[in-house]
Every structure is written in structure tokens, then in C-alpha cells.
Amino acid sequence: MGKIVAGVGTSHVPSIGVAYDTNQQLTPEWKPLFDGYIPAKEWLKEKGVTHAIVIYNDHGTDFFFDKYPTFAMGAADEYPIGDESFGVRDLPSVKGDTDFSFHLANELVLKHEFDLTICQEMLMDHGLLAPYPLLFDHEPDWSVKTVPFNVNVLQHPLPTPRRLWKLGQAMRQSVESYPEDVRVAILGTGGLSHQLHGTRFGHMNEAWDKEFLDRIEDDPESLLDIPHDVWMERGGAEAVEMMMWLTMRGALTPEVTKIHRNYYLPMLTGMGLTVLEDAA
């Protein structure tokens, strides 16, 4: 039987990928970020994670606004790395598990009434890739099978925070009804505070980021009725991505055991990491 063994909330800032690819892990600018992921990666390895469901958003790597799905889930054995216009990163293609994806699709659509777009081909975007090598080994190949789950957080109207939370609850039940003994980490990605357009470009909000990190652990339901405008006012317009952490949190028990947390606020984005598991 499938089991969710870990919940991870993480930023997916693209410059993390640039730093990783150019070996800047130990520089003063990047050490506070990369050091934060070392215990997380170790712990995930100890938990014996076999599969990861990654809630993320594409940033114009594969999806375009001519047709824009609210929820698009991968169902393939392999997902190539996309060219986001700066060339293709030197990482192995992300490996999937078609059978597991279709099990989730059937459960989510038929039992839980989430109307998904199913993608048999999907190019991987920094929304998933930026934190991925910091959490899982990829040499010679990725140590986990991945279910990429893309959420529209770009083109309004967006799904509500409560919907994303319910998606997480449905994910948990769907994982648990899988007959094979998969050990699943669920990742909510994005944020924390950042605004990338307008004269408010560069807006960050450390106090809100830290409050969010507390509330996602201890009182996630208090976040479910926050309107999109308030997420954007507090964290910046693009920080509405933070809602995707609610799917991760919704897939865990009401009380959680806190494994690890990191926060770093360097240039344009609050970079957060939280690692949780079900309360014993």
C-alpha cells in the first residue's frame, strides 16, 4: 500500500539552478541556502522515498497561454528537461511512473472530482528542477520516480487556496489506495515573498514569510480563506505561488512532526524550506 512519508515545502527560484550548475554551494552568497538542504536530503534518503509528487508551476517552458490548464499532471515514464531560453541544464531527464500516475489520475478524477489535464509529454521547468537536485540524488540517474503536477498560478483566475488544500487531502487518499508499497514524498514548491513586475518589483516581506512558515506547520487551515489579493499584497504578486504549499500540507496529518526548516532572503525572493512528516 502506498504511503506518504514526507512533506516538503520549498522555493524554486531559478538562480538556485544557476548556482548549482556552477558549483557555488560554498560561496558566501549561496552557503546559507545550500547548507539548509543538506539535512533535508539526508533525511529523505533515510526515509526510503521511492516516489515524489511535485506540486509546481511551469513558467513558460512547456505551457502557453493559448490554452492554460488549471491542473495538469504528468503520466509518463520520462520527462525531458526543458530549454527555458538559456539552454538545457545538464541533468538527467526526470523519470516517472506511468502506472502510478494513472492510478492517481483515476482516483483524483473519479473519486475526488478534480478535473485534471493528463499530460503524456511534459517538459520540466525550474519550478520543479530548481530545488530537485538539492533534495534527491541524480547521478547517474534520479533516485526517485516523479509525478509532476502543474498548477496555474500565473494567469488569473487561479485556483483558491482551499481548493489546493483539498487537492492535497485527495492526494493522500489516492496514494494510500495504491496497491504497491510506494513511499511518497509530496513537495509543495514556490515563493516565498517576491514580486517580479511593475514598480513594486523587488518587494519582499520577511515577516510574512516567517509567519507563513509557522502557520503552514501549526495552523494551515488559517491560510485557506486568504484571498489571492491578500497573498499578493503581503508577499508580492508572484508570491501567490505560496498557495501550492497547501497541497503538500493537506496531504499530511493535522498535527505534524517538524523535521527541518531553513530561510534565506538574499536578492529578490524569500527562499524557504520546510520538511515535515505525519505526527507519530
Partner 1 sequence: MSKETGHSDHIPGTHVFTGQRSKRGLKLNRFAFSLNQASNREAYLQDAEAYMDNCGLSSWEKEKVLARDYKSLVEEGGGSIYMLLKLGSVTGEGLASLGAQQRGETKEEFMQTRNVALKENE
- Catalytic-labelled residue, pool 12, 59, 103, 126: 126
Site string for partner 1, 50-69 (x = CB under 8 A): ---------xxx--xxx---
Distance CA 138, CA 124 (A): 15
Q: Is 31 in the site for partner 1 (CB under 8 A)?
A: no
Phi and psi of 227, rounded to 5°? Answer: -70, 155
- String of b and e for 139-175 (b: at least 16 CB within 10 Å)? eeebbbbbbbbbbbbbeeebbbbbbbbbbbebbbebb
Asked if residue 113 binds partner 1 (CB under 8 A), the reply is no
Cβ atoms of 9 and 274 closer than 8 Å: yes
Q: Are 108 and 170 in contact (CB under 8 A)?
A: yes
Of residues 202-261, which lie at the interface with partner 1 (CB under 8 A)?
Answer: 202, 229, 232-233, 237-238
Q: Is 126 a catalytic residue?
A: yes
Instruction: Please tell me which residue in 194, 197, 203, 228 is annotated as part of the active site.
Output: 194
Nearer to partner 1, 57 or 101 (CB): 57
- The smaller minimum CB distance to partner 1, of residues 39 and 266, is found at 266
Check residue 197 for interaction with partner 1 (CB under 8 A). yes
Which of 37, 74, 84, 256 binds partner 1 (CB under 8 A)? It is 84
Catalytic-residue membership of 260: no
Element housing 79 (H / E): strand 78-79
* Grid-cell match 478534480, residue found: 114
Give the interface with partner 1 as residue ranges (CB under 8 A).
14-15, 18-19, 22, 24, 29-30, 59-61, 64-66, 82-87, 154-157, 195-202, 229, 232-233, 237-238, 265-268
